[in-house]
Structure 1
Amino acid sequence: MAWEGKKYKLDRQENFEEYMKKIGVGMVLRKMGMSVHPTVYLVKDGDEYSFHTDSTFKNTVMKFKLGEEFENETLDGRKVQTVITLDGNTMTQVEKGEKKSVIVREFSDSEVVVTCEYDGVVSKRWYKVV
């Protein structure tokens, strides 16, 4: 897998503030979200995975088993039911809250491209290997 043993740091983003606004993130957290350049990485341990997001604002770990629904707390504190699947180097995260949010992470040897979609608003973020 392209993601194994790699960490990725946010390089650039497109329409992310609009996405955060649409999902209900308040102005202060949106401004913080736009100014932070987190590092992300995925770890596999047996049949469990953990997706890490490290930043100066907050460090989080999302633990999951592929295809199994779990309750996840988003970075802005919302609780959503989440299912994650992995198809090759593409990780798809479906969050069911008020409305469905889909986050697709496409890992390669040099970057991960994250596409977030919620209620017609689409955002992209590009992370480079560090």
Structure 2
Amino acid sequence: MVEQFVGTWKMVSSENFEELLKEIGVGFAIRQMASRTKPSLTVTVDQGTICLKMLSSFKTTEVKFRLNQPFNETTPDGRDTTNIVSLENGKLLQIQSWDSKETTIEREIVDGKLVTKCKMGNVVAVRTYQREA
């Protein structure tokens, strides 16, 4: 089921992302840069290991993980997080924890687009990606 996410995706819209970064505690300058970039996301799967590679003019990051197995990640804004990703009802659900805080990142395919919902507290950001040819 993870195979539906495989490919290269270009961000086409972003809603409420700066508010989410503010809720997380990201500083003004980084929020400004991060909310103005339109990254591309490449998703690959190799023998059960999923790789998410995010490329932007702000920063390039790559994270590799296996479903339902905890892993550590340093986020683009410098947070050291503990994560776990599961596949639930066709959605990749990522729980990200640091300093007694938690965010949820939910990725799903809707009408051929990759829709990512990032949630912290009552703040929800939605970033939508179109598959590149």
Same fold (TM over 0.5): yes
Aligned to 1:71: 72
Q: Quote the offset at 1:89 in angstroms.
A: 3.8
Distance in 2 between residues matched to 1:88 and 1:122, nearest whole Å = 20
SS of structure 2 residue aligned to 1:75:
coil
Q: Take 2:89 and 2:50, find their aligned partners in 1: how far apart are those partners?
A: 15
Name stretches of at least 5 consecutive residues in structure 2 with no aligned partner: none
Q: Residue in 1 aligned with 2:31?
A: 30
TM-score between both structures, scaled by the size of structure 1:
0.92
- Which SS does the other structure have where 1:63 is aligned? strand
Determine if contact 1:2/1:108 at 8 Å carries over to the other structure: no
Partner of 1:2: 4
Is residue 112 from structure 1 mapped to residue 110 from structure 2 by the alignment? no
> What is the percent sequence identity of the aligned residues?
31
CA shift, 1:2, in A, is 2.1
2:20 is matched with which residue? 19
Corresponding pairs, count: 129
Distance in 2 between residues matched to 1:77 and 1:100, nearest whole Å: 15
| Alpha-carbon RMSD | 1.4
Counterpart CA distance in 2 for 1:106 and 1:83 is: 16
How far off is 1:41 after superposition? 1.9
Instruction: Give the Å deviation of 1:111.
Output: 1.2
Q: TM-score normalized by structure 2?
A: 0.90
Matched residues in 1 for 2:5 and 2:116: separation?
Answer: 13
CA distance in 1, matches of 2:67, 2:40: 22
Amino acid in the other structure paired with 2:124? V
Residue-by-residue CA offset, 1:10-64 (whole Å, 9 max, x unaligned) = 1111111100000011111111111110001211110211111011121111011
**CA distance 1:114–1:50, shift in 2 (3 Å):** same
Query: CA offsets per residue over residues 48-99 of structure 1, 9 Å max, x none?
Result: 1111101112111101111011111111010011001123641111011131
Find the residue that maps to 1:86 and give its secondary structure.
strand
Q: Identify unmatched segments of 5+ residues in structure 1.
A: none
